[in-house]
Structure formats: C-alpha cells, structure tokens
Chains A and B, each alone.
Chain A
Amino acid sequence: MADVIRTRGLTKTFRVPVKNEQKGFYRRLRHVLVNPSRPFTAVNDLTFHVAEGEILGFLGANGSGKSTTIKMLTGILTPTAGEIDVLGYVPHRQRREYTQHIGVVFGQKSLLWWNIPVIESFKLYRDIYDVSERDFQERLADFAALLEVTEFLHVPVRKLSLGMRMRAEIVASLLHRPRVIFLDEPTIGLDVISRLTLKRFLQRVNEEMGITLFLTTHNMFDVEDLCRRCVIMSRGSVIYDGGVLDLKASGSYKLIELEVLSIDNAPRFRRLLDRCQVLESGATTYKLQVAGTEAQWVIDELFKSCRFANLHIAPPTLEAIIHRIFEEDRAQEQRNVETVLQAAG
C-alpha cells in the first residue's frame, strides 16, 4: 500500500515570550519594547509514515506535540525543519490544492458556524470545497442518515449537544470525499454511547470508502477500539511507533488487586511488596504491578503471608501499559538531566 503520509525529521520550534520579571522601571520598559522570547521545540525530529487506508492513533499527553503535529500535517503551521509529504503535497506550500483532499475535525473547537442551522454550514462547506449540487445532495443523504444527523439539520449549531455537534462536524468533513481525515481529539467530552456511535461510524468510513484516518487522542480506549497502529508522543518526540496489539503484548506483567483481612507474617509480606511495584495502597487495599515471570512467586507468597478478602489478577490494560511507557520515558529524561548536571558541576 502506498504511503499517504510521510514525514522525516519533522521539527517545529516556537518562540515563547519570556515572562517579564525585571526589577526597576527602565528594565521593565526595555523588556516590553524588546519583547524577548526563547525557543521552544514542540515537535522534535518526527519521522513516521501512514499507509493508505490505515487508521493511525496519535497518543500523547497535553503538550506532547501531537496537536502541533496535526497542525503541520493539515497546513495550518509551517514546519521549522524536516520533510513532510501528504498525498504527494507539501501541506503548507500547496495549501489550496492540498486541502481539497483532506478533511479536518477539531474536537475542542467547532468548525461549524455557531448561530446558523447545520444545513447552512454544510452548504458553506459545499461552496468552499466546490462540490457539485448533485454530489452534495447524494452524500448528504447517505452520511446524514448513517450518522443520524437528519433530525437536527435545521437546528442552529449552538443548540446542539456535544455528541450531535461532533456527528455534524464529521459529516461536514466528508462532503467533499477527502482521501485523508485528520481528527484532533474527536471523542473528548463525549458520553460513552456517543463515543461508540462515532467510532463505529469512523470504522465504516474507513472500511467502505477506504479513507485514511489520522486521529490524535489521549483516550486509550479510542486507540484500542479503532486503531491497528499507534504512535505515542512525549515532549515532542516519538517514544513508540508500532501495532496496538504488539503494544498490549509488550505488557508482560500482571496487575494484582487485593483487599487484606489480616497480615499473618509481616516481614514476608514486606519482602513481597519490595519485589513488586506498588501502584496504589490504602488501609487494607493494594494494587500491585509485578513482572510476568515473578507473578507466580508473588501469589505464592501472598497466600503464605496474609489472609485476604478479595484477590484480583488481571493482565495490564492498554492504559497501564502506556502509562508505564510514559513513566519510563520520564525516568529516562530524569537520568539525562542528572548526567548533564553531573558533567557540568
């Protein structure tokens, strides 16, 4: 399958204004006039690719650079360095032609017009993307029925609930039959049922129309249900790029939740705890993470050292796995900082 999105060494550096903490009137004045700023690298040397027909999940915490990445891919921001190729175009340089072939949905910002009925927004989209009237009516009928937006086509957007609005936004982004759709946190703030409907629809869009989906999210369940591949970003760099199933498999440890009735052998219990990672601990409850190989030993020791009311052993959730990846990354960063400090001091 041909690559639809390809980036190499993609970098984006912003200039962040330095806070004015000057003492003295003239220093403050000079600060205001000069307006000093320092560079901030939001995306650092990003290299990845997306094949046609794929659904790629871009995971990361706030500030990890995923929004900046999607903005560069959609032509909103110009990269500072690196190569970027989507559908054979360089987004920020060929914006007019390029954007004809993509759809964009922002979860946190509405792309529809607030005070007017949904159908009027759709008509505006039709004119922006130069869709023929016949195609417009056809696609409107199809998608609207599929996503069940027909019932509120004539309601102004400001009166819609979030779930309804997101459905309308997705329909709007499909009217010109894009080859790729970029979704920035599309399920944020949605209730469980709306989220499910949306995801099911996106799946159908991908399967039946072969549209490539690129979505950013910090909801693991979105990734789990929808994506076969995912990229995890942290502080501007990629820390994981691979299949979702592989990611789940890499979590070769177990989660043990227990509620303790009485501790018969305290030192043994403590030794046990030392061998695990204690995720949570309450008065009588514990949540432990233990390597797959050690799990059997830990459970044996548990039986020998205490009596418990509840014991639950589970494979790690994707969330936990990803959480651990972030932890490891943060630890790595900490080690880097210490090395630098040691070298300097």
Chain B
Amino acid sequence: MVRRLRVYLGVLLTRMKSAAHFRANVIAWVLYSPLQIAIIYLLWKIIYGTTREVGGLRFNEMILYYLVVHFLGRAMLPLQTVNYEVWSEINKGKLDIYLARPLGFGPFVFFRSLGAPTLEICLGVPFFLLFSVLLRLPIQTDPLVLAAFFLSGLLGAVVLFMIQFLIGSLTFWVEKIFGIRDLMVSLFMLFSGQLIPISALPPLVVRLSRLLPFESIFFVPAMIYRGALPHLDAAALMLQQAIWIAVLWAAAAAVWKRGVARYASQGG
C-alpha cells in the first residue's frame, strides 16, 4: 500500500516538473488573469452602482469571491480534461495495460492529474495575494479558516475529478461523449458558483443546486475563505462535500466495473 502510494506520488512529481508548463503558467497569470479580473471588476462596479448588496455580498466581498473562484478555477483547470483522457484511453484500447496490472486505473489517473494543479497552486498563491493587495481586498489570516479552505478546495477538486471520471467512463457505452460533456460544462458553470454566487441565484435554482454536487467545487470553498461562516456551518458544508465524494465514488466504481466487463467482452 505504501509502495503503491510512492508510485503515485512519483507520477505526480513528474508531471509537475515540466518547465514549459511552468513558463506558460506564469505568463497566463501575468497576462490573462489581470484582464479577466478587470472585466469582472468593471462589470460589478456598474452593478453595484445601483444596489448595495447582491446575494448577501457587498462589492468588495463580491470581487473577493470572484478572485477566489478564479484562483480555484485555474488550479482545477487541468482536471477538466480528465474526461477526455479517460475517453481516449478507452477508445484507443490502451486500457489493457492497466487491466493487466495491479495498478488501479482510477487512482492512477487521479494522481497523474494532481501534478498540474499542484503547480498551479504553488504559482497561483503569490499572484492571488498580489491581486488581493492591488484590489484592496481583505486577506484571510485566520489559520483555522485557511486550513478549512484548503481542505475544502481539495474536497472540491476530488468531486470535480469524480464527475469527470464518470463522464469519461460513459465511453464504454457511448462512442461520442462530447455532447453530454458539453452539457455538463454548462450546468457546471451555473451550479458551481463560477458564474455568480449561488446565494444570488433565483430561489428555484438555489434549491436545484442543493441537489447537485457542483456547488461543492467552487461555491463552498469560496464561502469558507470569506470567513463569515460560523464554524459549525463550515464543518457541515465540508461534510456535505465528503458525502458527495462517497456517493460519486460508489457510482464510479459501479459504472467502471460494468464498463470494464463490457469492454473485455468486446475484446477491447
């Protein structure tokens, strides 16, 4: 078990070391992020010209929310291609390598896909702090809140991974998963809180989002970072994230088992 973990960690580190990734990442933070955040800033400045709060957030808090979501979004961007990776390996019959060895395909893909996000986070934190200072936003210093935030972010990443993996697994039954995938991306944008904080959405949509796992990915960690949540509520939300992971894991395991059986019976 320990040895297996070491293998997985090795895979993670290899992914991280790519110099080209490093350079591209820094450039993206320096060039693209300021533009994206500026657009958000300018838009909400106009909106807050006619109102004092939106979805329970003041102007500053809203900008901070979007900054946190931007940071989380960048960190989790590499995870958004997991569905394609899974599709590709199944489609090209490369699954055989994994099935013939005691290496779990799921865990392998998971650890492989953690490499790039780890790099993103390491590079992103200083930029995040820089933007917070430039935009005169409060920086969270409470260690308990920060710990909860990183844990919640990690849980959110796992939820995203599981959803991506599930969609990729559909390849066993459907050759072209990209229609479903694109649909999911749209729903993801809304229900994860990436487009607008969930608290600002119409009540019907809010009720719907409670039933879906997406808000665990961006909205929950962002709210925790804000630091305005009572400890119990924060803990409850993180428990909710954990439950979603368990549910999705069970689903993924079941789907995978059925899928592999079908794959093997069709000769790969």
- Direct A–B contact in the complex, CB atoms closer than 8 angstroms: no
Q: What residues make up the interface of B, taking CB atoms closer than 8 Å to A?
A: none
